[in-house]
Protein backbone atom coordinates (compact mmCIF):
# COMPACT_ATOMS: atom_id res chain seq x y z
CA UNK A 1 0.00 0.00 0.00
CA UNK A 2 1.36 3.42 -0.87
CA UNK A 3 0.31 6.76 0.52
CA UNK A 4 -1.23 8.48 -2.47
CA UNK A 5 -2.33 12.10 -2.25
CA UNK A 6 -5.97 10.98 -2.14
CA UNK A 7 -5.32 8.60 0.76
CA UNK A 8 -3.38 11.30 2.66
CA UNK A 9 -6.23 13.76 2.15
CA UNK A 10 -8.73 11.15 3.38
CA UNK A 11 -6.50 10.49 6.40
CA UNK A 12 -6.42 14.23 7.17
CA UNK A 13 -10.20 14.50 6.82
CA UNK A 14 -10.84 11.49 9.07
CA UNK A 15 -8.34 12.80 11.59
CA UNK A 16 -10.03 16.20 11.59
CA UNK A 17 -13.37 14.43 12.14
CA UNK A 18 -11.92 12.98 15.34
CA UNK A 19 -11.50 9.38 14.16
CA UNK A 20 -9.00 7.18 15.96
CA UNK A 21 -6.02 5.63 14.19
CA UNK A 22 -7.79 2.25 14.24
CA UNK A 23 -10.93 3.72 12.69
CA UNK A 24 -8.88 5.50 10.03
CA UNK A 25 -6.98 2.29 9.23
CA UNK A 26 -10.27 0.40 8.79
CA UNK A 27 -11.71 3.08 6.54
CA UNK A 28 -8.57 3.36 4.40
CA UNK A 29 -8.15 -0.41 4.15
CA UNK A 30 -4.87 -2.21 3.53
CA UNK A 31 -3.09 -0.28 6.25
CA UNK A 32 -2.46 -0.94 9.94
CA UNK A 33 -3.19 1.32 12.89
CA UNK A 34 0.57 1.73 13.42
CA UNK A 35 1.05 2.77 9.78
CA UNK A 36 -1.62 5.44 10.27
CA UNK A 37 0.04 6.65 13.47
CA UNK A 38 3.42 6.78 11.69
CA UNK A 39 1.99 8.77 8.79
CA UNK A 40 0.26 11.18 11.17
CA UNK A 41 3.57 11.67 12.96
CA UNK A 42 5.54 12.17 9.73
CA UNK A 43 3.01 14.73 8.53
CA UNK A 44 3.27 16.55 11.85
CA UNK A 45 -0.44 16.19 12.49
CA UNK A 46 -2.30 15.51 15.70
CA UNK A 47 -5.68 13.93 16.39
CA UNK A 48 -6.17 15.51 19.78
CA UNK A 49 -9.85 16.38 20.01
CA UNK A 50 -9.18 19.64 21.91
CA UNK A 51 -6.61 20.97 19.48
CA UNK A 52 -7.58 23.90 17.29
CA UNK A 53 -8.15 22.50 13.81
CA UNK A 54 -7.25 25.71 12.00
CA UNK A 55 -3.64 25.60 13.26
CA UNK A 56 -3.12 22.29 11.46
CA UNK A 57 -4.73 23.60 8.29
CA UNK A 58 -2.80 26.85 8.42
CA UNK A 59 0.45 24.92 8.54
CA UNK A 60 -0.54 22.84 5.56
CA UNK A 61 -0.68 19.81 7.83
CA UNK A 62 3.08 19.74 8.02
CA UNK A 63 3.39 21.27 11.46
CA UNK A 64 5.61 24.23 10.71
CA UNK A 65 6.29 24.91 14.36
CA UNK A 66 3.50 27.44 14.78
CA UNK A 67 1.75 27.64 18.11
CA UNK A 68 -1.72 26.30 18.70
CA UNK A 69 -4.01 26.90 21.60
CA UNK A 70 -5.28 23.97 23.56
CA UNK A 71 -7.85 24.24 26.34
CA UNK A 72 -6.40 23.66 29.75
CA UNK A 73 -6.84 20.22 31.17
CA UNK A 74 -5.57 19.26 34.58
CA UNK A 75 -2.20 20.82 35.26
CA UNK A 76 -1.53 21.92 31.67
CA UNK A 77 -3.47 25.14 32.16
CA UNK A 78 -4.45 27.70 34.73
CA UNK A 79 -7.86 28.18 36.27
CA UNK A 80 -8.95 31.71 37.09
CA UNK A 81 -10.59 32.74 40.35
CA UNK A 82 -14.08 32.29 38.86
CA UNK A 83 -13.22 28.72 37.79
CA UNK A 84 -12.83 29.21 34.04
CA UNK A 85 -9.96 27.50 32.27
CA UNK A 86 -7.34 29.62 30.52
CA UNK A 87 -5.82 27.92 27.43
CA UNK A 88 -2.10 27.26 27.37
CA UNK A 89 -0.07 27.86 24.23
CA UNK A 90 1.81 24.80 23.08
CA UNK A 91 4.36 24.60 20.32
CA UNK A 92 3.84 22.03 17.60
CA UNK A 93 7.18 20.56 16.59
CA UNK A 94 7.44 19.23 13.03
CA UNK A 95 8.08 15.50 12.78
CA UNK A 96 11.53 16.03 11.25
CA UNK A 97 12.70 18.32 14.07
CA UNK A 98 14.06 17.26 17.49
CA UNK A 99 11.83 17.86 20.49
CA UNK A 100 12.75 20.74 22.79
CA UNK A 101 14.31 19.72 26.11
CA UNK A 102 11.69 18.60 28.61
CA UNK A 103 12.10 18.59 32.37
CA UNK A 104 13.09 15.12 33.43
CA UNK A 105 11.03 13.18 35.94
CA UNK A 106 14.37 12.48 37.63
CA UNK A 107 15.24 16.11 38.32
CA UNK A 108 15.59 17.00 41.98
CA UNK A 109 15.33 20.30 43.77
CA UNK A 110 18.31 22.64 43.92
CA UNK A 111 18.16 22.42 47.71
CA UNK A 112 18.51 18.62 47.65
CA UNK A 113 21.41 18.86 45.19
CA UNK A 114 23.17 21.43 47.35
CA UNK A 115 22.73 19.15 50.35
CA UNK A 116 24.14 16.19 48.39
CA UNK A 117 27.16 18.21 47.25
CA UNK A 118 27.83 19.26 50.83
CA UNK A 119 27.57 15.66 52.04
CA UNK A 120 29.82 14.41 49.25
CA UNK A 121 32.54 16.80 50.46
CA UNK A 122 32.37 15.00 53.83
CA UNK A 123 32.10 11.53 52.24
CA UNK A 124 34.55 8.82 53.23
CA UNK A 125 35.39 8.08 49.59
CA UNK A 126 35.57 4.32 49.90
CA UNK A 127 36.14 1.66 47.24
CA UNK A 128 33.83 -1.16 46.22
CA UNK A 129 35.59 -3.72 48.43
CA UNK A 130 35.18 -1.45 51.47
CA UNK A 131 31.36 -1.27 51.20
CA UNK A 132 29.33 -2.91 53.94
CA UNK A 133 25.61 -3.13 54.68
CA UNK A 134 26.00 -0.07 56.91
CA UNK A 135 27.80 2.22 54.46
CA UNK A 136 26.25 4.47 51.83
CA UNK A 137 26.63 2.82 48.44
CA UNK A 138 26.04 5.99 46.39
CA UNK A 139 28.52 5.97 43.49
CA UNK A 140 30.36 9.19 42.74
CA UNK A 141 32.40 9.95 39.63
CA UNK A 142 33.10 8.00 36.45
CA UNK A 143 33.71 4.28 37.05
CA UNK A 144 36.22 4.26 34.17
CA UNK A 145 38.57 6.63 36.03
CA UNK A 146 40.60 6.57 39.23
CA UNK A 147 38.38 9.37 40.54
CA UNK A 148 35.50 6.94 41.23
CA UNK A 149 34.40 6.12 44.76
CA UNK A 150 31.39 5.47 46.96
CA UNK A 151 30.06 7.85 49.59
CA UNK A 152 30.71 5.54 52.56
CA UNK A 153 28.85 7.61 55.18
CA UNK A 154 26.55 5.68 57.53
CA UNK A 155 23.55 4.33 55.62
CA UNK A 156 20.02 5.12 56.74
CA UNK A 157 18.52 2.01 58.40
CA UNK A 158 16.82 -0.20 55.81
CA UNK A 159 18.23 1.80 52.89
CA UNK A 160 21.42 1.48 50.84
CA UNK A 161 22.29 5.17 51.11
CA UNK A 162 22.96 7.89 53.66
CA UNK A 163 20.19 10.37 54.46
CA UNK A 164 21.24 12.91 51.81
CA UNK A 165 21.41 10.33 49.03
CA UNK A 166 18.13 8.73 50.15
CA UNK A 167 16.48 12.13 49.72
CA UNK A 168 17.59 12.13 46.08
CA UNK A 169 17.10 8.45 45.27
CA UNK A 170 13.80 7.76 47.00
CA UNK A 171 11.16 10.42 46.50
CA UNK A 172 7.48 10.26 47.39
CA UNK A 173 5.22 9.33 44.46
CA UNK A 174 3.43 12.70 44.60
CA UNK A 175 6.61 14.71 44.01
CA UNK A 176 7.60 12.47 41.09
CA UNK A 177 4.14 12.83 39.57
CA UNK A 178 4.17 16.63 40.01
CA UNK A 179 7.48 16.97 38.11
CA UNK A 180 6.11 15.07 35.09
CA UNK A 181 3.38 17.64 34.54
Per-residue pLDDT tens over the stretch 157-180: 999 999 989 888 877 666 555 555
Nearest to 136 by CA among 179, 166, 178: 166
Residues 102, 68, 51: CA angle, nearest 5 degrees: 95
Q: Identify the pLDDT of residue 76.
A: 45
Scanning the chain, the segments in alpha helix (DSSP H) are: 5-16, 21-28, 33-43, 53-58, 110-122, 163-169, 173-180
User: Are the C-beta atoms of residues 164 and 116 closer than 8 Å to each other?
Assistant: yes
pTM of the model as a whole: 0.39
- The confidence score (pLDDT) of residue 179 equals 55
Q: Which residues contact 139 (CB under 8 A, 6 or more apart)?
A: 148, 149, 150
**The predicted structure's pLDDT at residue 94:** 74
* Domain annotation covers residue 74: no
Residue 120 lies in a domain: yes
Q: Is residue 105 part of a domain?
A: no
User: Parallel, antiparallel, or unpaired for β 139-140 and 149-150?
Assistant: antiparallel
Does the residue 9 lie in any domain? no
Give mean pLDDT in consecutive 10-residue pieces for the chain, a chain of 181 residues.
88 89 91 90 71 43 41 47 59 72 63 83 92 94 90 94 88 60 53
pLDDT at 102: 61
Tell me if 31 sits within 8 A of 8, measured CB to CB: no
Q: Does residue 79 lie within any of the structural domains?
A: no
The answer to whether position 136 is within a domain reads yes
> What is the domain range of residue 145?
110-180
Structural domain count of the chain: 1
**Other C-beta atoms lying within 10 Å of the C-beta of residue 149:** 19
Report if residue 81 sits inside a domain: no
Amino acid sequence: MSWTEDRVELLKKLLKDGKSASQIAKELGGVTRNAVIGKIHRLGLSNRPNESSDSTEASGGAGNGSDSQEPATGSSGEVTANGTAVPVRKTIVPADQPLPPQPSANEVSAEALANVREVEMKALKISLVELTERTCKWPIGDPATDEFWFCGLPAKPGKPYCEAHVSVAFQPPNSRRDRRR
